[in-house]
Structure 1
Amino acid sequence: MTPTSVGMRCPECAKQKTKVHRGPAVLGDEPRVTIAIIVVCVIVFLAQGSFGARESGGSIYEHFALFGPYVDRGDYWRLVTSGFLHSGIFHIGFNMYLLWVLGQQLERVIGSVRFGVLYFTALLCGSFGALVQTTESGVVGASGAVFGLMGVLAIEQRRRGYDPFSGGLGGLILINLVIGFIPGLNIAFGGHIGGLVGGLLAAVGFTVADRMRRPWIGYAGCLALAAIAVAGAIAVSGNLHSYSL
């Protein structure tokens, strides 16, 4: 018999190696960026004064919602600020719940800096996608960025050997995408698709960068994606007809 760390084993068994699947390393104790984003969204929602099931309007909405003609005239901040506004209690409740579920998993694994970069990259890609889809109404909500986090989590699971569809993440993405196409709900599905694609591409970029042991490549890729999204949003806005919020 051969002494091992788990007790006495026969020589044949002692030669065998057991495969160990390691879970993702935890880099931080608290998802600070996730919490900060939720806090800002809640404060802005309270400041809007719209507490109904589905409402929009007021000076905050007018000056910070995503609206193509206003982006065309130079209100570029709307590409970011629209991601912190919501149109009703159910809208913000659903988005903040998903943001917490996804954010507290991802941020602890990939770190706050990388998480923040991925979030805002997906947000800008979502704004671009929303402007590609809609021309006649304002768009608000963190949905594009949240869909981006779904894409990031799917890539992170794949790189660690997990099937996103076996754990329900793939189904969650598909269900929410389908809901966006239901008539009458007035959902900016273009923002969902744009955010998801942006999150997937950004996460793939970081995966390649990590394999090359060049993390800066991932950040450079996010910067390039964000620049393309902003340039695309401005270009699309320039082709829109003039409407009013």
Structure 2
Amino acid sequence: MDQAVCCYRHPDRETGIRCTRCDKPICPECMVNASVGFHCRDCVNQRGGTHVQPRTIAGGSVTSDPFLITKILIGLNVLVFVLELALGDRIVDDFGLYAKCVDLQTLQPARCGVSDGEWYRVLTSAFIHERPSPVHIGFNMLSLWWIGAPLEQRLGRSRYIALYFVSALGASAAVLVIAPGALTIGASGAIFGLFGATAVYMRRMRYDMRPVIALLVLNIIFSFTWANVSWQGHLGGLLTGTVLAIGMLYAPRERRNLVQWGTCAAVLLVTLAVSAIAVSQVTS
């Protein structure tokens, strides 16, 4: 088994990246973007203190609060949950993911849902959770913090935002294809996208994959065995997040932005096209 290599400034952090000048191991916080590879902060200082914008492993900007977007996402989810408690089923009915609504009195299709042009549901449904119990939102928000916050720090804000929202759309696309008649709500599809991205990151950094694989397997088993859990959305989010992370973390440095944002655009177009095809099948 390979011996773990740790950052020269942070001995508690394993890393697979080295300074291209002195070959010291460096973690994402200590990486300074260079024309070729990364430099450590000591080498940058030895070059006369030239200021170089530090970058994450994916090329994103290093910020003073690397967890800001995750905090905002958690805040939005909690805010919507409070509105659900105040307004009742209205929030779910108006913003949950339906391909086609059904009038519960007549059991006939009603004029609502994605098939009637309410496309905002493919995204708004990711901010709605079951009520009145806080278990659903509590579990999702804990997962978002544990998985999302470290990933935001390693990717940078813009790439993390793209990963989260496109994963949510991928989860909705899978639901529309496999279970178009089901009401689907919750952030878990997007969070599964973060799980997939975390696995790609650990592979990229040559970390021990066993913990994240075990966690993924447990969550997938939970998705298929627990009642009222959308395994379709979970798998859709997982697949989407994994593909996006591969494009973000394995992009060649010379064309990194092109490959990364090109991957995001391509995956986004595929999810929208798949959703449109699925909805057209419902309406026909």
Q: Which TM bucket (shorter chain)?
A: 0.7 to 0.9
- 1:38 matched to which residue of 2? 74
In structure 1, runs of 5+ residues without a counterpart are 1-17, 51-55
Greater relative contact order (CA < 8 Å, ≥ 6 in sequence): 1
**Matched length:** 217
TM-score (norm 2): 0.71
Partner of 1:203: 245
Shift of 1:20: 4.8
Residue type matched to 2:209 in 1? P
Q: CA–CA distance in 1 between the matches of 2:117 and 2:205?
A: 43
Alignment match, 1:24: 28
CA distance 1:176–1:68, shift in 2 (3 Å): same
8 A Cα contact 1:151 1:200, kept in partner:
yes
Query: Is 1:86 the counterpart of 2:129 in the alignment?
Result: yes
**Matching of residue 222 in structure 1 with residue 264 in structure 2:** yes
Q: Which amino acid aligns with 1:217?
A: V
The alpha carbon displacement at 1:109 in A equals: 1.5
* Structure 2 unmatched runs, 5+: 1-21, 30-55, 57-61, 101-112
Residue 217 of structure 1 deviates from its aligned partner by 1.8
- Secondary structure of the residue aligned to 1:49 is helix
Task: Check the 8 A contact 1:71/1:234 in 2, yes or no.
Answer: no
Q: Distance in 1 between matches of 2:88 and 2:214?
A: 34
Kept in 2, the 8 Å contact 1:29–1:108? The answer is no
Q: Give yes or no for contact 2:115–2:283 (8 Å, CA) kept in 1.
A: no
Amino acid at match of 1:233: S
The C-alpha deviation readout for 1:184-226, integer Å capped at 9, x for no partner, is: x111101000100001100111123244442232112112111
Percent of matched pairs sharing the same residue = 33
1:3-52, Cα deviation, whole Å (9 max, x unpaired): xxxxxxxxxxxxxxx975432336233211111111000000110017xx
Could you give the per-residue CA deviations for residues 53-82 of structure 1, whole angstroms, max 9, x where no partner exists? xxx961111111011121111111111100
From 191, 205, 218, the counterpart of 1:175: 218
Distance in structure 2 (CA, Å) of the matches to 1:109 and 1:48: 33
Alignment of 1:185-204 (within 5 A): 185-204=227-246
Residues 196 and 239, structure 2, Cα contact 8 Å, conserved in 1 = yes
With the length of structure 1 as denominator, give the TM-score of the two structures.
0.82
In structure 2, how many angstroms separate the alpha carbons of the residues matched to 1:113 and 1:235? 29
Over the aligned positions, Cα root-mean-square deviation in angstroms equals 2.1
- Secondary structure in 2 matching 1:181: helix
Say which of 145, 153, 156 aligns to 1:100.
145
Alpha-carbon distance between aligned partners in 2 of 1:57 and 1:226, rounded to the nearest angstrom? 32
Find the residue that maps to 1:180 and give its secondary structure.
helix
Aligned residue number for residue 115 of structure 1: 160
Measure the CA separation in 2 of the matches of 1:236 and 1:75: 14
Do the aligned partners of 2:126 and 2:190 also contact (CA within 8 Å) in 1? yes
2:89 is equivalent to residue 58 of structure 1:
yes
User: Aligned equivalents of 2:75 and 2:258: distance in 1?
Assistant: 29
Report SS of the residue matched to 1:240.
helix
More helix by share: 1
